A and B are shown apart, each in its own frame.
Chain A
Amino acid sequence: MITKSDKRWAFSGHVVLGFIAVCSVAPFILLIIASFTDEAASLRNGYSFTPEKWSKAAYEYILLQWDTIGRAYMITIFITVVGTFSGVMMAGMLGYSLAQKDLPGRNIITFLIMFTMLFNGGLTATYIVYTQVFHIKNTIFGLLVPNLLLNAFSIVLFRNYFEFTMEKALLEAARIDGASEMRTFWSIVLPLSLPMIATVGLMSALMYWNDWINGIYYLSPNSKMQSIQTLLNRINEDIRFLQQNSTVFVPGDAIPSTTVRMAIAVVGILPILLLYPFFQKWFVRGVATGAVKG
C-alpha cells in the first residue's frame, strides 16, 4: 500500500537524485559545448551552455595535429590492453597457486603480499628504484609498470574466488586425464572465472586509461611517450609555465587555444562515455560482490 508519506519521500528522492544527476552530467555537457564554441566568442563571453557562435575549428585543428594526438591515443590503448592483460594474468596465476591449500610456503607468500597493503616505501623510493636500477624513464615501461600492473587486493580476490568456487572434482578429473597444471589453469580454471576476470580487468583497464601519475614521474616534458592523459596534463603544465613567466611570453600557437584544449579533453573521455553503458553493469556487480573497493 502506498501512503501519502511514501509519495512525499519518493518525491524528495526524485528531487535530490535529479539534482545530483544533473550536476554529474552538466560539466561534461559544458565541456563538449565549449569545444564546439568559436574561440573569439568564448574569450568574449566565457564558456557557456548557449554559445553565441558555434565552430568546429578545434576538431579540425586536432585532425591537423593527429600525429601527436593519434600517437598519444595509440599509446593509451597499448598500455591499457597490455597492462590489463598481463596484470590480470599475473594476479590470476598467483591467486590460483595460493589457492592450493597444501602449497608449501603458502602462508609466508600470502603474508608478504598482504604486507604490501600495510607498508610501502613511498613514491620517492619507488621512483629511485625504477630510474636508478631499471632505467625506465622515458620508455613505455614507465607508463606500464610502476604501481599499476598488480596489487595485493586483486591477488587476494582471485585467491578467494578460486578457493571458494572451483570444483575440486573437476580439477582432479583434468589431472587424472593427464592435463598439466598449466593446461588445467588455462582451459578449465580461467574460463570458469570469467566474471572475476571481467571485474578485475575492468578496474585495471580504467586505471590504465586514466593514469597520468606515472607520466609525471617517469616521462620528461618533451618525451615522445605521452598518452592522452599525460598529454592533457602536459598542456596544463605548459599553460602554468607561461603564466608564471609571462615576461618571456612568446605569442604564437605554442600552446593550443582554450577551445582546442577542451576538444582534446573530449577526445580523451569519449571512449569511456561510449563504453560506459556496457561496462557499468560489470562494475555495479563488482561493487555488490565486494570485488571493487572505493
Chain B
Amino acid sequence: MDTAVTVPKKKNGKYNLRRFIPFYLMALPGLAYIFINNYMPLYGMQIAFRKLDYSAGVFNGPWVWFDNFKFLFQTQEAWVMTRNTVLYNLLFIIVGTVVGMTVAVLFNEIRTRLAQRIYQSLALIPYFMSMVIVSYLCFAFLSSDTGFINNTVLKTLGIEPVSWYTTAKHWPIILLIVSQWKGIGFSILMYTARLLTISDEYYEAATLDGASKWQKVWHIMLPMLKPAIILMVILSLGCMFYSDFGLFYQIPMNSGALYQVTTTIDVYAFRALMGLGDITMSSAVGVYQSAVGFILIIISNLIIRKVSKENALF
C-alpha cells in the first residue's frame, strides 16, 4: 500500500479528530439502538432485587436483595424448568449431531448434483417457517378430533386415538422430532460445507490402499469433521440455559397438562410476566438465566481457546 496518497497524518490532534466526525455520526444510530435495546435492560434488571411497589414506580420499590431468588428456588417450578432446559439441550445436541452427520455423509455419497440440489432445497423449507406456522402443521397431525395421526394413522393400525395435547409422556419425543425436522436442512448444509473442504486426494490415496467405504468414513471424514463438531458442541454448552421459546411454547399450544415436560426457563419467564403479571418472579428468572448463561459462555469460551484459538469469541 503506497502511503503517499493518504490524507496527511496528525498535523495536530484537532485535525485528526475532526476527520473522524463523519464516522462517529455513521456509528451513532446503531450505537443508540444497542444502548436502548441491550444496555438499558441491564439497568432494568434491578427489579429482581427489589420489592415491587407500583405506587412508588417499578424502579423505586425497596431493596430486598436476594429474597425474590430465595422464593423462586423454593418453588417446584424452578427445578422443573432448569431440568427441562438442560436435558432438552443435551438431547438436541447429541441427537442433532449424530443425525446431522449421518445424513450429511450419506448426502455426500449421492453423486447426482441435481438430486442433491432437490433434496437440499426441500429439506431446507421447514427452516424458513415460523414456529406459529409449525404449530399449525403439528396441529393438523396431532389434533385429537381432526388430526391426521388419530384419524388416519392410528385408525388404520387399529390403535385407540391419543389425546396428544393432554398426554405429557409423548412430548419429549414430539419436541425432539419437531426440532430435528426444522433443523435438518440447515445441518446438512453446515456439515456438507465442511465435508467439501476435504481434499479428494485423501479418498484417492485410501482407495489405492484398498480402503472400504466404511473405513473412509471412519478414518477420513469423521476425523476431518471432529474439530467442527467439538466446536459446535462447546458452543452449544454455552447456550445450555437458553431454549427455543417458540418450540416449547407454540408446538405444545401452551397446554397446561403438558407444563411438566414443556416448561423451560424462557417459557416460565414469559408465563410469569404475561400470564400471571408477576414482574418480580419473571425478572428474577431472567437474572438467573443471564447470570448462569454468562458463566457458561465464559467457560465454553475458555475451553474453545484451549481447543482452537481462532474460533474463540474473545
> A residues touching B (Cβ–Cβ < 8 Å)?
2, 5-6, 9-10, 12-14, 16-18, 20-21, 23-25, 27-28, 30-31, 34, 42-43, 45-49, 89-91, 93-94, 96-98, 100, 103-104, 109, 112-114, 116-129, 132-134, 145-147, 149-150, 152, 155, 168-169, 172-173, 175-176, 180-182, 185, 206, 209-213, 216-217, 229, 232-233, 236-237, 240, 244, 258, 261-262, 265, 268-269, 272-273, 276-277, 280, 283-284, 287-288, 294
Give the distance in Å from the alpha carbon of A75 to the alpha carbon of B249 in the complex.
24
Q: Are A14 and B269 in contact (CB under 8 A)?
A: no
Q: Are A103 and B20 in contact (CB under 8 A)?
A: yes
Q: Are A287 and B37 in contact (CB under 8 A)?
A: no
Q: Are B152 and A48 in contact (CB under 8 A)?
A: yes
Q: Are A150 and B34 in contact (CB under 8 A)?
A: yes
User: Which residues in A have their C-beta under 8 angstroms from that of B136?
Assistant: 31, 232, 261-262, 265
A-B contact pairs, 9 of them (CB 8 A): A12-B106, A17-B103, A98-B27, A119-B294, A122-B45, A128-B41, A150-B30, A210-B129, A280-B124
In-complex Cβ contact of B130 among A42, A149, A212 (8 A): A212
User: Which residues in A have their C-beta under 8 angstroms from that of B128?
Assistant: 206, 210, 272, 276
Q: Indicate whether A30 sits within 8 Å of B1 (C-beta atoms), given known contacts A24-B185, A97-B23, A119-B294.
A: no
Name the residue among B132, B141, B273 with the largest chain A CB count within 10 angstroms.
B132
User: Which residues in B have their C-beta under 8 angstroms from that of A10?
Assistant: 109-111
User: Which residues in A have their C-beta under 8 angstroms from that of B279?
Assistant: 124, 128
**Chain A nearest Cβ from B40, distance in angstroms:** 5
User: Which residues in A have their C-beta under 8 angstroms from that of B98?
Assistant: none
Q: Are A97 and B212 in contact (CB under 8 A)?
A: no
In-complex Cβ contact of B29 among A30, A93, A233, A262 (8 A): A93
Q: Are A47 and B146 in contact (CB under 8 A)?
A: yes
Give the distance in Å from the alpha carbon of A12 to the alpha carbon of B214 in the complex.
13
Chain A at the B interface: mostly helix, strand, loop or mixed?
A: helix
Interface string of B269-289 (1 = CB under 8 A from A): 110011000010011011101
Asked whether B198 is an interface residue with its Cβ less than 8 Å from the other chain, the reply is no
- How many A-B Cβ pairs are below 8 Å? 292
Chain A, Cβ-Cβ closest to B137: A27
**Chain A nearest Cβ from B198, distance in angstroms:** 15
In-complex Cβ contact of B122 among A24, A100, A121 (8 A): A24
Asked whether B147 is an interface residue with its Cβ less than 8 Å from the other chain, the reply is yes
Q: Are B186 and A294 in contact (CB under 8 A)?
A: yes
User: Which residues in B have their C-beta under 8 angstroms from that of A176?
Assistant: 5
User: Which residues in B have their C-beta under 8 angstroms from that of A100?
Assistant: 20, 23
Q: Are B47 and A5 in contact (CB under 8 A)?
A: no
User: Which residues in B have their C-beta under 8 angstroms from that of A109?
Assistant: 27, 31
User: Which residues in A have their C-beta under 8 angstroms from that of B269?
Assistant: 122-124
User: Which residues in A have their C-beta under 8 angstroms from that of B5?
Assistant: 169, 172-173, 176
Given contacts A17-B103, A210-B133, A287-B189, 16 further A-B contacts (CB under 8 A): A24-B126, A28-B137, A31-B136, A42-B146, A93-B29, A120-B38, A122-B286, A124-B282, A124-B283, A128-B279, A145-B37, A175-B7, A181-B23, A229-B130, A272-B129, A287-B193
